[in-house]
Amino acid sequence: MAITFALSTQPVERVRADVLAVPMFADGRVGPGVDLVEAALGGALSAFVAEAGFTGKPDETLVVPIGTGPGPTAAVLVGLGEPATLSTDRLRRAAAAIARSSSRARSVVTTLLAAASDLAPRAAAQALAEGFALGSYQFLTYKSDGKPSKLSRVTVVGGRGAETRAGLDRGVAVADAVAWARDMVNEPAGAKSPAEFAAAARKLLTGRGVTVTVLTEAQLRAQKMGGVLGVGQGSVRGPRFVRVVYQPRGASQTKTLALVGKGVVFDSGGLSLKTASGMETMKTDMSGAAAVLAAMSALQALGVRHRVVAYAPMVENMPSGSAIRPGDVLRMRSGTTVEVLNTDAEGRLILADALSLAASEKASAIVDLATLTGACVVALGEKVAGVMGNQPNWVEQVRAAADRAGEPMWTLPLPKDYRKLLDSEVADLRNISTGSYGGALTAGLFLERFVDDVPWAHLDIAGPARAGSDDGELTKGGTGFGVRTLLELVSTLEGAPAARSTRRAAKKR
């Protein structure tokens, strides 16, 4: 259920809502509205809080009944931790905690922003809206006894007029995009063939100020996309390729940001078959494509002024009599030949074609997102993405956008010495390294071969694309990781890098 956000200059006791949400810091300070809670408890709030063991630490909540009048009948105290460490991330998580505690209520009034006066008002309001919307997210399509959240209205007291309103509106647009990505990731693989995934993307993007093109199998052959065709040939459900163009009025065609997303709707490993447990979450292997397409759906609403083009190759990696075999050689769109020695290293094969297309269409800069390697999860865990690329300044710009968006990433290297590990005896490249370690890095080095000299950043989101439990604004299952980063990046792009032809000319001089 979508949540509507309203601003009010009235005291909280005069706002009609089911629940009052009041922030509390670890040092005991409490936001406006606490007097209602104090009165309801006969002045015994401190004793009540102490008895409940509530200390105001981050994400902590305490529900307090406060009356039966026309105003709120229950209060939720939510912890914000130490005042000196308050951030938009913590505010987002606090809003998500309120949403979960108030899921049976229809309306909430909160003074959460009043406690965030030191934060930029627009960013704080955006974080609040994202937290409420994403914290109340549910995927109940297949639950016969699912109990959807009733929360549909949040009234914010203590905001700062137009700045707060703009932040709330932006937060809603971002959260809507993230929710679509989560829906697609959570959808069972059997219900999202490449053709169905492409159709869902087209439906999402209709009326969003973009142009959508879907390449069928025959068109992929005409484009000589050997990686996409090779991975997809083992499935009876043929591959697709979605290309989306956002061209706002006045935007330069020579400065284009390309977004590339891995769209493996199910990854069995192919003939290099995964274990049964290894396949359990492989419906999520299209998280990169979902994030890229979801981000494209919000560009117009956010007023993005740059030209952006998305590329989403979609395949199903299955074992069959027609599947590629270890030792087979594929010719990529770029003409590069790749010896496939492990069919479970398939994501890089389809991304190679997409990256090659983006580079040939003269992208000024590229970002790709992919649930690419288990090695990155080993290195960084399940909550942090790896980011690497061919130009430090561009990688840093992407990572900084991720920091502001609240999606943790860590920069990884692309060591030149490791490139020889991808040398093949019979082809230009092999799709896996000859070594046993550094798999996330050699996968990045493989992809780098297909971006020419375009500034490029690769986000390995294998860990944070899925959450094992509710955590802050994240809910168990698909997270939509990367959507917020991409939208922050395109909204704050620091002068798109020069077009490739210009860079080459500069090199010659």
305 exposed, middle or buried (CB, 10 Å; 0-12, 13-18, 19+)?
A: middle
Cα angle: 111, vertex 112, 118; to 5 degrees: 115
Task: Give yes or no: 348 in active site.
Answer: yes
In order of 12, 62, 266, the CA distances from 274 in angstroms are 55, 44, 12
Cα 212 from Cα 196, distance rounded (Å): 15
The answer for residues whose C-beta is within 8 angstroms of residue 467's C-beta and 6 or more apart is: 382, 474, 475, 476, 477, 479
Strand partners, 79: 24
The DSSP letter of residue 497 is P
Per DSSP bridges, beta strands 107-110 and 153-157 are parallel
Which H or E run includes 488? helix 483-491
Given 122, 182, 240, 348, the catalytic residue: 348
Cα torsion for 438, 441, 445, 447, to the nearest 10°? 120
Task: Give yes or no: 274 in active site.
Answer: yes
Cα 5 from Cα 110, distance rounded (Å): 11
**SS3 label, residue 150:** coil
Given 274, 362, 404, 419, the catalytic residue: 274
Both tokens assigned to 449: 């071969």
Per residue, what are the HEC states of 209-275? Answer: CEEEEEECHHHHHHCCCHHHHHHHCCCCCCCEEEEEEECCCCCCCCCEEEEEECEEEEECCCCCCCC
Cα torsion for 274, 278, 279, 283, to the nearest 10°? -130
Is-contact 181 134, C-beta < 8 A? no
Both tokens assigned to 347: 């994501």
Q: Which residues participate in catalysis according to the annotation?
A: 274, 348
